[in-house]
Amino acid sequence: MLYVKHMVCPRGLRVVRHELERLGLRVLAVRLGAATVATPPAGLDWPRLRETLAVAGFCLLENPSRDLAGCLQTKVAELLRRPVKWNNRFN
């Protein structure tokens, strides 16, 4: 399973499928945010795959859990920096 960032519409599905097929990969399925190919991970040319998707406007997420954790960490930090608006309901 390949996780692809910025693939959010039908056009993106078509473009990602086309680009993967152009790389010679047999595409089994494409859905929003992910594509399944028949080639095992060890058989993929990762630098070429990254570059091809980047040129098409997409980003390969190689470690989705780490990326999700990073996004959560950033959002929590943003929330903690916001000024607190106190509600004086108890006065």
pLDDT digits over 39-84, tens only? 998 999 999 999 999 999 999 887 655 556 556 666 677 777 777 7
Q: Which residues pair with 35 in a beta bridge?
A: 2, 30
Of 40, 66, 42, 61, the closest CA to residue 50 belongs to 61
Domains in the chain, CATH or no CATH each: 2-81 (3.30.70)
Positive or negative: CA dihedral 42, 53, 75, 82: positive
Rounded Cα distance between 85 and 9, Å, is 38
pTM above 0.75, yes or no: no
Q: Which residues pair with 59 in a beta bridge?
A: 5
CA neighbours closer than 13 Å in the CB half-sphere of residue 87: 1
